[in-house]
Amino acid sequence: MPKGSLQEALSLDFDLIARAHPGAVADDETALKLLSEEELGPGLERMLAGHAPGEGLWVFAYGSLLWKPEFAFDARRVGTVHGFHRRFCLLQRRFRGTRERPGLVLALDRGGSCKGVAFRLAGLDPRAALMPVWRREMQGLGYEGRWVTVETGDGPVRALTFVVNRAGDRYTGRLSDAETAERIAAACGHLGPSAEYLLRTVRACAELGIHDPHLWRVQALVAERLRACGTAANEA
């Protein structure tokens, strides 16, 4: 079986992750500054100024929004954004990691292309529809909002998405797959292990027919590391 294949990538499962991270992790509210809704509001208003009234309001999802959307939607389309690629390049010192062992979450970084899902948000009030996902993605200063064109089988749509904030202290730059896997395998926060975030994203992509070699390779490497940790613990 080729290394990095879908079957190998999906060999990681929730039981393996739970055995590697059996204990609860306390939340450290000081580990990550979060913006208030009042601080988030002006940025959302500027973003909405780029949305033409009467057009459908779309959000392009490529990571956790695939399996945990923060909004009601009435349509979704698999599509591709050009000029950005999906990559684990954003440190997570809270939620899925800690100060001592930060995890990694996905962001869009420059170059290449990314296949994901465009969701059309339901509701007549664009601000009310967008604020929950805007809060979730923007409160930790890791992302920047960006309007992009998503090429879908039913034609292009203009959608809001979240690209990495390269000027922020959470941006890692381009890590190797091995470095990425080491961080993800070791990290766990109060919302759970970083590896769980990875597994849920890979499974969501597989169900949608989306193949991302970066995710597949990292998934296989994380599985190897968690199995090796389990073997070492059993032999100790």
Interatomic CA distance for residues 97 and 35, integer angstroms: 19
d(CA 143, CA 146): 9
Q: Which of 187, 14, 198 is nearest to 96 (CA)?
A: 187
10 Å Cβ neighbour count for 156? 12
Q: Which of 29, 38, 55, 137 is catalytic?
A: 137
SS3 content of the chain, % helix, strand, coil (to 5): 40, 30, 35
* Residue 196 is among the residues annotated as catalytic for this protein: no
Closest CA to 217 of 187, 186, 172, 176: 176
Assigned token pair, 45: 């208003």
| CA–CA–CA angle 153, 154, 155 (5° rounding) | 95
Which residues, 6+ apart, have CB-to-CB distance to 235 below 8 Å?
A: none
The whole-angstrom separation of Cα 205 and Cα 51 is 28
Q: Which of 63, 106, 98, 96 is nearest to 210 (CA)?
A: 63
Give catalytic residues, as residue numbers.
137
